[in-house]
Structure 1
Amino acid sequence: MEKGERKNVYKVYNKIGRWFAENRYADAVEQAYLNDILKNLPPDAKVLDVGCGDGKPILEYFIKHNIDVLGVDASEQMIGLAKNNFPVTRFLLKDMRKLNLNEKYDVIIAWHSFFHLPADDQPDMFRIFKQHLKPNGILLFTSGTERGEVWGINDGENLFHASLNTTEYQNLLQSNQFEVLKHKVNDPDCGGANVWMAQYKP
């Protein structure tokens, strides 16, 4: 029996976006990783936040440090919230699987967004990430640790997550010319997230 929206999870966020924004954890658990990235950014750096949601806290972090950031999300409700939160920041309503921007970035972040894609859609995202990164650019994303699907209830709606296994991610990164800088499994200082930080080395 179908549990809910599997292919286009952003449609669920169109229903629960406001609730999600109000109930998202308040602690900046990602900050240690963001601080690492910030230390190595050039003065004119550009950051792409893929699956930016309402912009808090990741996009907000870079704005506070005067970094040029573009927020992308496929949910109209989330983009609307983000524009209200950060009216002078650039946002794009777009499915990350269809990204084809004529820009390259120093950093791409897909934090707690990439894992909403079905497993079959995830491998090609590494080509898209590569396409939008400058040489030596940084990719930061979260994933699961084993191949499979997980459903969670958010505001009464089924929310889909999928993952490949760790070896598959390592192979995808390597075949797309990424070097893994950090990989923390169930990071206790980061809400138990499975975090990847990789550098594009063409």
Structure 2
Amino acid sequence: MENKKNKVFESYNIIADWFAENRYQGLMEKAYLDKIIEILGKGSSILDLGCGTGMPMMGYLLSQGMQVAGVDASHRMLEIAKNNLPFTDFQLADMRELSLGKKFDAIIAWHSFFHLPSDDQPAMFDVFKEHLNPGGILMFTSGKELGEAWGMNGGENLFHASLDKALYKSLLEMHGFQVLEYKEDDPDCGNATIWMVQLH
């Protein structure tokens, strides 16, 4: 099970086709994506970290005139993403080791960051900061309290972990982020808990 905790992307390699067929394609995330577009303006650069198949979120951002790049640690998910969005820049990388040598106007880690073990999550705020322009937006989903959870998807048991809300807030402050929006269990967004923060 330890490998399943540290390398959730290997489970995604197994279930990639199932995920592509079963991932909800309605854009329940639209309000949050539109807010990023509104803050940054059309043509801004966005990194989708843990982009999966690229759909529907990257597809929507591209349709709205944003420049979008995708990173995922699952080579099978990226194969599907490249097929879905053939003219988009995709890279295979574990977000914990990310070093792209470039900065973006926004980073989205939607239902991806929370697959990391809780011990690995604090260091990610350095990674986020390193890849963001000043004034850049970071949006990620998390749990609300310190803990681990497993969820069955396509026959694979996927690991999730969270810090508590206060620790996320203190990590964000420590790294120069200001919280723009925090929404717990958003009923319009699959009960996701969503952070939208800005680097100063």
Asked whether the equivalents of residues 3 and 158 of structure 1 are also in contact (C-alpha less than 8 Å), the reply is no
Which residue does 1:112 correspond to in 2? 111
- Does 2:185 match 1:186? yes
- In the alignment, the residues of structure 1 paired with residue 51 and residue 89 of structure 2 have an alpha-carbon distance, to the nearest angstrom, of 11
Aligned pairs for 1:20-99 (under 5 A) are 20-99=19-98
Gaps in structure 2 of 5+ consecutive residues: none
Asked whether the equivalents of residues 73 and 93 of structure 1 are also in contact (C-alpha less than 8 Å), the reply is yes
**Greater helix share, 1 or 2?**
2
Q: Deviations over 1:138-196 (max 9, x none)?
A: 00000000111100111111100000000010001000000000000001111100000
- In the alignment, the residues of structure 1 paired with residue 49 and residue 13 of structure 2 have an alpha-carbon distance, to the nearest angstrom, of 16
Q: Deviations over 1:97-146 (max 9, x none)?
A: 11111111000000000000000000000010000000010000000001
Secondary structure of the corresponding residue to residue 26 of structure 1: coil
Gaps in structure 1 of 5+ consecutive residues: none
Q: Deviations over 1:19-51 (max 9, x none)?
A: 011111222111000011111224441100000
The one-letter amino acid paired with 2:72 is: D
Q: Per-residue deviation at 1:54? A: 0.2
Asked whether the equivalents of residues 7 and 118 of structure 1 are also in contact (C-alpha less than 8 Å), the reply is yes
- TM-score, scaled to structure 2: 0.97
The one-letter amino acid paired with 1:182 is: E
Q: CA RMSD in A?
A: 1.1
Asked whether the equivalents of residues 4 and 158 of structure 1 are also in contact (C-alpha less than 8 Å), the reply is no
Secondary structure of the corresponding residue to residue 6 of structure 2: coil
- TM-score, scaled to structure 1: 0.96
Q: Per-residue deviation at 1:4? A: 6.5
Asked whether the equivalents of residues 43 and 65 of structure 2 are also in contact (C-alpha less than 8 Å), the reply is no
The one-letter amino acid paired with 1:70 is: A
- In the alignment, the residues of structure 2 paired with residue 140 and residue 61 of structure 1 have an alpha-carbon distance, to the nearest angstrom, of 16
- In the alignment, the residues of structure 1 paired with residue 42 and residue 51 of structure 2 have an alpha-carbon distance, to the nearest angstrom, of 22
- In the alignment, the residues of structure 1 paired with residue 30 and residue 95 of structure 2 have an alpha-carbon distance, to the nearest angstrom, of 23
- In the alignment, the residues of structure 2 paired with residue 114 and residue 141 of structure 1 have an alpha-carbon distance, to the nearest angstrom, of 7
Which residue does 2:125 correspond to in 1? 126
